[in-house]
Amino acid sequence: MSYAIKNIRNICLLGHGGNGKTSLAESILFMTGATDRLGKVADGTTVSDFDSEEIRRKISIADSTMFCEHNGVKINIIDTPGYFDFSGEVSQALRVADAGIIVCSAKDGLNVGAEKAWKMLNEANKPRAIFISKTDEENANYEKAFTSLREKFGVSVCPMVAPIIEGEKITGIIEIATKKAYKFDAKGKRTEIPVPENMKGTLNTLYNTLAEGIAETSEELMDKYFGGEEFTVDEISNALGEGLRDCSICPVFCGSAFTSSGISLLLDAVVNYFPYPREGSEIVNESGPSAAVIYKTVSDQYGKFSLFKVVSGKITNEMTLINPRTGTSEKIGHIYVMQGKKNIEVNEVSCGDLGAASKLSDSKTGDTLCNPSLNKALPGIDYAAPCYSMAISPKIKGQEDKIAAGLSRLGEEDLTFTVVNNAETHQLVISGAGDIHLDVLCSKLKNKFGVEVELNPARVPYREKIRGKVKVQGRHKKQSGGHGQFGDVWIEFEPQSETEDLIFAESVFGGSVPKNFFPAVEKGLRESIQKGVLAGYPVVFLKATLVDGSYHPVDSSEMAFKTAASLAYKAGLPQANPVILEPIGYLKVTIPDTYMGDIMSDLSKRRGNPMGMSAHDGMQVVEAEVPMAEMSSYAIDLRSMTQGRGNFTFEFVRYEEAPMNIQQKIIEEAKALAAEAE
């Protein structure tokens, strides 16, 4: 069924892990009749958490798109995961949602997940509301939860409702603007009840808080407010709608996903106040040429689905659109609307609505599909760079190809991890947002692609160099049967600082080594420096000068001179004061003030060298140079030090000589590794 743009709402649910987003979505679907039973996260029966990993872990891992109808309006709901490892999914949902609902719990109120959600909504400049869920739980405290949110986010946070608690139980909800009280049946349907006597005080306080927020939205209302006049219901309603849409008001609702109470009040607001589809700040163009943006890709045993939002015109099956990024044409075959894992085939998806296309050949998440006359890519999706790396290897030797194939399929759905084959350390290194992210990818490799893998810390690519100068001989002489092999060189080894690469020179006098053997000598050295003499790491910043030697008219060959050069290398480098270099990276950590002490003392434990500090948007940015070897678990450690409030970037800058004790450790590790390989 096709909806006029004014009758479509695209909302995404976001907030702290476990606060009840998936359950709220389930309750909305049930209450509006989109589904006929109320599934539970604990039983793995919700529409939203259908993936086997989500069912097993009882958390959401990926975005899930659902829809329902309320008062003639189609509401598309994108449920996002709260766990921080999957925040790329939140970015995807926010790319197409026209407003967000931050879900909090009545027990916790404000938490890091809500703070992050708020920040992301600010960055995306999207309207928002808050739903305080789990009001049915023991120890639920709506007022405390509300106050904590308002204290953090300011007066734009306006109370819309208050729960009626009798004993320990929630028995109804008061709508503040209208001062009406309701009770709810098992399907969430409401009937009006009188406002209980003991709630009148609370109602008045909250009404004043609401009025204060409403007054902020215009000068006219501000005057009225200070004049002591009460607002009419219409005035409140209009101000709420406008304020919500221009982000100056964030209405707060409450209820329970288990009892479905309060849900209908939230949905009324979605229909009455939430914006209809828009693209950035522009209203999408209903009558223009077709254009859609892909916000998610699902790749499973049934094929590949590209989920999109139509931002101009409409999308019908059998259309041919162009992907401006690749320049290729995409033939739209079957199109669908998604209800969790269920895809329902449709003939068209109208402007502003969400849909899905199967079997697109060359399009990925973030891409635009449009009529050839437009041929313009819309903004894509920004993901945080991966910050946690591990080496991934098969449990059974020889299944490397299976890992690569599996990860490449998983990469179609998930653009937040990278895989690099490190030729130097001979490891396949996978980088993602954190340990749970990588753990989920490993489970998927096992369950979907039949390959069991293990993760190990990624080896650090150390380097070696010499600090002294030596002159050594390399002499290769072999008499075997017919004619023998003979090569003899004197080489001077010394450090240089011009280039990491080997500098090869010669100052041979009087043809003691004929010119035609120089390339063989250089080749022998280039091969040798791949393995340093201390721990087997590549040697850098080396200069080698061929100064003398001798040859035999019959027995000398390129091979023999190559060998002679490598003998000189093996003899010379240990005498030239070799040292191990370690990679140093530039770290930028962003944290709230309060964690400053912890962060600094942690950095000193990591042998970090502070480079500067600055304040940005109420956060502190600490910059430091830190050895890469100390940073492997930083993503996890920073999260636990800051409860997830901190984030960081880390980039390689240069190699530096490692402290002696560290060098010793690296040499021992290399020995152990070599012994293991034998």
Ligand X SMILES: Nc1nc2c(ncn2[C@@H]2O[C@H](COP(=O)(O)OP(=O)(O)OP(=O)(O)O)[C@@H](O)[C@H]2O)c(=O)[nH]1
When binding is defined by CB under 5 A, the residue of 10, 22, 87, 590 that contacts Mg ion is: 22
Helices assigned H by DSSP within 246-303: 263-272
Q: Which two tokens stand for residue 563?
A: 């060998």
Per partner kind, with CB cut-offs from 5 to 8 A, the member of ligand X, Mg ion, none near residue 494 is none
Q: How far is the CB of 54 from ligand X (least distance, A)?
A: 8
Q: How far is the CB of 153 from ligand X (least distance, A)?
A: 19
What value does the CA radius of gyration of the chain take, rounded to a whole number of Å? 33
When binding is defined by CB under 5 A, the residue of 60, 76, 133, 339 that contacts Mg ion is: 60
Nearer to Mg ion, 113 or 213 (CB): 113
Per partner kind, with CB cut-offs from 5 to 8 A, the member of Mg ion, ligand X, none near residue 209 is none
Q: How far is the CB of 140 from ligand X (least distance, A)?
A: 8
Instruction: Give the number of other Cβ atoms within 10 Å of residue 20's Cβ.
Output: 27
Q: Quote the CA–CA distance of 56 and 58 in Å, as a whole number.
A: 6
Counting contacts by CB under 5 A, is residue 105 touching Mg ion?
A: no
Per partner kind, with CB cut-offs from 5 to 8 A, the member of Mg ion, ligand X, none near residue 449 is none
Nearer to ligand X, 86 or 182 (CB): 86
Q: Please work out, in degrees rounded to the nearest 5, the angle formed at the alpha carbon of residue 560 by the alpha carbons of 558 and 564.
A: 115
Nearer to ligand X, 20 or 474 (CB): 20
Instruction: Give the number of other Cβ atoms within 10 Å of residue 254's Cβ.
Output: 27
Q: How far is the CB of 445 from Mg ion (least distance, A)?
A: 23
Q: Which two tokens stand for residue 671?
A: 């020995």
DSSP 286: T
Nearer to ligand X, 53 or 330 (CB): 53
The count of C-alpha atoms lying within 13 angstroms of the C-alpha of 510, restricted to the half-sphere facing its C-beta, is 4
Nearer to Mg ion, 40 or 471 (CB): 40
Per partner kind, with CB cut-offs from 5 to 8 A, the member of Mg ion, ligand X, none near residue 256 is ligand X
Q: Which residue is nearest to ligand X (CB)?
A: 82
Please, are residues 255 and 248 in contact by the beta-carbon 8 Å criterion?
Answer: no
Return the range that interacts with Mg ion (CB under 5 A); candidates 59-67, 302-310, 530-538, 566-574: 59-67
Q: How many positions of this chain bind Mg ion (CB under 5 A)?
A: 3
Per partner kind, with CB cut-offs from 5 to 8 A, the member of ligand X, Mg ion, none near residue 17 is ligand X
Q: Quote the CA–CA distance of 249 and 213 in Å, as a whole number.
A: 7
Nearer to ligand X, 19 or 35 (CB): 19
Q: Which residues contact 306 (CB under 8 A, 6 or more apart)?
A: 294, 296, 297, 356, 357, 358, 360, 363, 365
Phi and psi at residue 301, to the nearest 5°? -65, -20
Q: Which two tokens stand for residue 455?
A: 């993760």
Q: How far is the CB of 34 from ligand X (least distance, A)?
A: 17
Per partner kind, with CB cut-offs from 5 to 8 A, the member of ligand X, Mg ion, none near residue 485 is none
Per partner kind, with CB cut-offs from 5 to 8 A, the member of Mg ion, ligand X, none near residue 554 is none
Q: How far is the CB of 57 from ligand X (least distance, A)?
A: 8
Residue numbers of the site for ligand X (CB under 6 A)? 17-23, 40-42, 59-60, 81-83, 103, 133-134, 136-137, 256-258
Q: How far is the CB of 48 from ligand X (least distance, A)?
A: 7
Please, are residues 539 and 529 in contact by the beta-carbon 8 Å criterion?
Answer: yes
Per partner kind, with CB cut-offs from 5 to 8 A, the member of ligand X, Mg ion, none near residue 258 is ligand X
H-helix or E-strand spanning residue 223: helix 219-226
Residue type, 303: G
Nearer to Mg ion, 7 or 22 (CB): 22
Return the range that interacts with Mg ion (CB under 5 A); candidates 19-27, 134-142, 213-221, 353-361: 19-27
Q: How far is the CB of 306 from ligand X (least distance, A)?
A: 23
Q: Which residues contact 590 (CB under 8 A, 6 or more apart)?
A: 616, 619, 620, 621, 646, 647, 648
Q: Quote the CA–CA distance of 632 and 638 in Å, as a whole number.
A: 11
Per partner kind, with CB cut-offs from 5 to 8 A, the member of Mg ion, ligand X, none near residue 83 is ligand X
Q: How far is the CB of 645 from ligand X (least distance, A)?
A: 17
Q: Quote the CA–CA distance of 672 and 275 in Å, as a whole number.
A: 63
Nearer to ligand X, 61 or 403 (CB): 61
Instruction: Give the number of other Cβ atoms within 10 Å of residue 92's Cβ.
Output: 26
Please, are residues 653 and 584 in contact by the beta-carbon 8 Å criterion?
Answer: yes
Residue type, 603: L
Q: How far is the CB of 293 from Mg ion (least distance, A)?
A: 24
Per partner kind, with CB cut-offs from 5 to 8 A, the member of ligand X, Mg ion, none near residue 647 is none
Q: Which residues contact 383 (CB under 8 A, 6 or more apart)?
A: 88, 91, 415, 416
The count of C-alpha atoms lying within 13 angstroms of the C-alpha of 144, restricted to the half-sphere facing its C-beta, is 10
Nearer to Mg ion, 21 or 150 (CB): 21
Q: What is the binding site for Mg ion (CB under 5 A)? A: 21-22, 60
